[in-house]
């Protein structure tokens, strides 16, 4: 391993333990997959902690973590790298996936179905017994570092027919499902990250619970834990509770006026 890569690793190492509360045996499953070098797929709704979990595991396993948020205009070359012109010289520059493959990092492809289809082709040989990355433009095939681990995330509530993981891709991953944390645990999180007392945090979690229950009435997704923390922090800044909840929880969720009224009533019920 070259010196440059050694330096690079430092940049991707997570040095502070991320705050994460375990909800099941997810760490054990992740460590088993990691030990067997099996690629991992995290399924779950927005803001339930998938990204945080990966950061936590990277910290716990002492591995560098390289995250790529995928989107409709992400090409394979954005992952692998490309030739650049630098002062009249053509220089190859590794993309984030190639860097991860070389240094043995965890590579986390967030919302992978959003990416263009040529990316799936790139990850296939990395997710079967070959464990290689083909850089066609350099005519190079790189064997993955033995510590390299591919993790992808995926929100099943979202997927349309057009944007779905193909079976030939899905069947390359060990899958783990995530959901909102239980009320008690979520209260801990909100109190800790929002810096409010446990009572206020508990009420915010109760509000979220009610909102998540009315999901079928027109909300495409429930309120994430993140929004509860936002509300808590506004309250800490002396914004009145009702106003804080409306701005941080209700208004971001929907543009529907009637639903906003229902959500407002829920706030009144609880506070």
Residues numbered 186-245 forming contacts with a copy of itself, rule: CB under 8 A: 193, 220-221, 223-224, 226-227, 230, 233-234, 236-239, 243
Hey, is 237 helix, strand or coil?
Answer: coil
Residue 126's Cβ-count burial label (10 Å; 0-12, 13-18, 19+) is: buried
| DSSP assignment letter at 145 | P
Report the residue from 87, 146, 162, 268 that binds a copy of itself according to the rule CB under 8 A. Answer: 87
| Least distance (Å) between residue 175 CB and a copy of itself | 3
- Range 126-185, binding a copy of itself (CB under 8 A): 128-129, 134, 136, 139, 141, 155-156, 158-159, 166-168, 170-177
| Least distance (Å) between residue 269 CB and a copy of itself | 21
Rounded Cα distance between 48 and 156, Å, is: 13
Residue 189: count of CB within 10 angstroms of its CB: 22
Rounded Cα distance between 222 and 139, Å, is: 47
- Range 106-135, binding a copy of itself (CB under 8 A): 110-111, 114, 116-118, 120-122, 124-125, 128-129, 134
| DSSP assignment letter at 83 | E
Report the residue from 1, 6, 17, 71 that binds a copy of itself according to the rule CB under 8 A. Answer: 71
What is the chain's percent helix, strand, coil content, to nearest 5? Answer: 50, 15, 35
Q: What is the DSSP string of 54-76?
A: HHHHHHHHT--EEEEE--TT--H
Rounded Cα distance between 175 and 153, Å, is: 10
| Least distance (Å) between residue 203 CB and a copy of itself | 18
Report the residue from 54, 58, 74, 106 that binds a copy of itself according to the rule CB under 8 A. Answer: 74
Rounded Cα distance between 55 and 53, Å, is: 5
**Interaction between residue 78 and a copy of itself (CB under 8 A):** yes
Our CB check for a copy of itself shows the closer of 3 and 255 to be 255
| Least distance (Å) between residue 146 CB and a copy of itself | 15
Q: Which helix (H) or strand (E) holds 129?
A: none
Is the CB of residue 132 less than 8 Å from the CB of residue 126?
Answer: yes
| Least distance (Å) between residue 237 CB and a copy of itself | 4
Report the residue from 46, 61, 210, 262 that binds a copy of itself according to the rule CB under 8 A. Answer: 46
| Least distance (Å) between residue 26 CB and a copy of itself | 10
| Least distance (Å) between residue 191 CB and a copy of itself | 16
């Amino acid at each position: 391993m070259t010196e440059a890569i050694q330096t690079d690793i430092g940049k991707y190492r997570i040095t502070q333990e991320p705050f994460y509360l375990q909800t099941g045996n997810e760490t054990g499953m992740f460590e088993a997959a990691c030990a067997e070098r099996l690629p991992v797929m995290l399924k779950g709704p927005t803001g339930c902690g998938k990204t945080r979990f990966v950061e936590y595991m990277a910290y716990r396993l002492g591995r560098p973590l390289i995250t790529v948020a995928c989107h409709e205009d992400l090409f394979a070359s954005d992952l692998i790298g490309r030739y650049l012109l630098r002062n009249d010289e053509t220089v190859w520059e590794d993309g984030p996936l190639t860097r991860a493959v070389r240094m043995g990092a965890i590579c986390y492809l967030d919302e992978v179905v959003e990416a263009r289809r040529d990316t799936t082709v790139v990850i296939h040989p990395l997710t079967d017994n070959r464990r290689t990355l083909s850089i066609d433009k350099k005519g190079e095939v790189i064997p993955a570092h033995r510590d390299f681990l591919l993790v992808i995330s995926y929100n099943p509530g979202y997927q349309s027919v057009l944007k779905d993981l193909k079976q030939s891709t899905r069947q390359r991953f060990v899958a783990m499902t995530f959901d909102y944390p239980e009320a008690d645990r979520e209260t801990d999180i909100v109190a800790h990250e929002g810096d409010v007392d446990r009572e206020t945090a508990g009420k915010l979690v109760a509000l979220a619970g009610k909102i998540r229950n009315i999901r079928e009435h027109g909300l495409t997704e429930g309120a994430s834990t993140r929004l509860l923390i936002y509300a808590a922090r506004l309250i800490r800044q002396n914004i009145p509770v009702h106003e804080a909840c409306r701005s941080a929880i209700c208004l971001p969720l929907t543009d529907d006026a009637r639903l906003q009224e229902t959500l407002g009533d829920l706030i009144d019920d609880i506070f």
